[in-house]
């Protein structure tokens, strides 16, 4: 191999993979065409999942998760796989509210649910299920490894990369509605109810090759929500 050819090969080998094509949102008609599964029934209980001081009630890698200034901190300095800090308890229908902030990096944060904890090589804290992503609203499917099509309830930009975002996730039946900073941003329906699993809720430290830090606080869950609506929405004129 010539020097020039070897240099070209090394440049190609080091080149990052091409970006994934954007996930096309659902139209309102496409969303409505997916039948709704009725919410499950059970005892409605509201509880705080994070005491602001310890990681009691959570499971994950001690090397990546800690408590910092009253928040759960996910932090890494080098290359890490996508990993989650999971609740001890399992959930099916719920309302989750929390605040999150990307302190460092242009990466994203998220919450997984309706899935299973999976081991991926040395990483014991992977997932197979859906993920709500923030600060920019979208969803990901960790079963098929692709973006989930959602209905965008607004085109308004309601979050910033390095500021706190208040998140509400309402998961009932096969329907997931999400609000950021008091604005409903998206809705998704699982077309195949057999994929919905009763499982833990997890907060994400996304795979990255460089310094990053993400914070989560004010984490509250309501099981089998009493109200069939997002409750953090701002009053709109």
Domain contains 2 = no
Chain centroid, CA 211 distance in Å: 20
Average pLDDT of the chain, as a whole number: 91
Average pLDDT over residues 70-87: 94
Residue 29 has pLDDT above 60, yes or no: yes
Q: Is pLDDT above 80 for 147?
A: yes
Q: How far is residue 44's CA from residue 38's CA, in Å, rounded to a whole number? A: 16
Q: Is the peptide bond before 140 cis (omega within 30 degrees of 0)?
A: no
R_g over Cα of the chain: 19
Q: Is residue 90 part of a domain?
A: yes
- H-helix or E-strand spanning residue 154: none
What number of CA atoms fall less than 13 Å from residue 77's CA on the CB side? Answer: 1
Statement: residue 17 has pLDDT above 70: no
Residue 98 is given by DSSP the state E
- Other beta carbons less than 10 A from residue 231's beta carbon: 13
Q: CA 17, CA 105: separation in Å to the nearest integer?
A: 20
Tell me the pLDDT band of 37, cut-offs 50, 70 and 90: very high
Most confident range, picked from 1-10, 15-24, 171-180: 171-180
**What's the pLDDT score for residue 3?**
46
What's the full length of the chain, in residues? 237
What is the count of structural domains for the chain?
Answer: 1
- Give a yes or no: residue 85 inside a domain: yes
Write out the two tokens for 15: 């080149």
pLDDT at 9 (0 to 100): 37
Domain boundaries, position 29: 23-223
> Residue 237: is its pLDDT beyond 90?
no
Mean pLDDT on 15-38: 85
Q: In this structure, are residues 166 and 109 in contact, taking their beta carbons and an 8 Å threshold?
A: no
Q: Name the band, by pLDDT with cuts 50, 70 and 90, for residue 236.
A: low
- Are 75 and 216 in contact by the 8 Å Cβ rule? The answer is no
Say what the pTM is. Answer: 0.90
pLDDT at 78: 84
Checking if the pLDDT of 209 tops 50, the result is yes
Kindly state the helix (H) or strand (E) to which residue 13 belongs, with its residue range: helix 3-14
Domain-embedded: residue 1 = no
- With a cut of 60, say whether residue 92 has pLDDT above it: yes
Q: Tell me whether residue 233 is in a domain.
A: no
Backbone angles phi, psi at 233, to 5 degrees: -70, 140
pLDDT band at 19 (very low <50, low <70, confident <90, very high): low
Kind plus residue range of the DSSP H or E element containing 9? helix 3-14
Question: Is the residue at 17 inside a domain?
Answer: no
Give the CA diameter of the chain.
71
Domain membership of residue 236 (yes or no) is no
Within-domain flag for 6: no
- What CATH code is carried by the domain that includes residue 102? 2.60.120.560
């Amino acid at each position: 191999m010539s020097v020039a050819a070897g240099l070209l090969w090394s440049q190609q080998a080091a080149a990052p993979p091409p970006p994934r094509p954007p996930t096309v949102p659902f139209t309102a008609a496409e969303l409505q065409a997916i039948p709704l599964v009725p919410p499950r029934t059970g005892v409605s209980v509201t509880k705080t999942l994070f005491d602001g001081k310890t990681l009691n009630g959570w499971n994950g890698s001690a090397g990546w998760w800690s408590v910092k200034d009253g928040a759960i901190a996910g932090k890494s300095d080098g290359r890490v796989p996508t990993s989650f800090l999971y609740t001890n308890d399992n959930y099916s229908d719920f309302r989750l509210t929390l605040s999150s902030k990307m302190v460092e990096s242009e990466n994203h944060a998220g919450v997984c649910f309706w899935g299973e904890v999976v081991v991926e090589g040395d990483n014991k804290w992977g997932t197979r299920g859906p993920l709500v992503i923030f600060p920019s609203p979208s969803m990901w499917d960790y079963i098929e490894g692709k973006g989930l099509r959602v209905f965008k309830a607004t085109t308004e930009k309601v979050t910033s990369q390095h500021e706190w975002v208040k998140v509400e996730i309402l998961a009932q039946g096969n329907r997931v509605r999400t609000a950021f900073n008091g604005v409903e941003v998206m809705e998704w329906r699982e077309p195949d109810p057999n994929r919905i699993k009763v499982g833990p809720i997890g907060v994400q430290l996304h795979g990255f090759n460089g310094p990053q830090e993400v914070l989560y606080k004010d984490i509250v869950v309501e099981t089998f929500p009493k109200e069939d609506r997002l409750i953090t929405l701002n009053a709109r004129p």
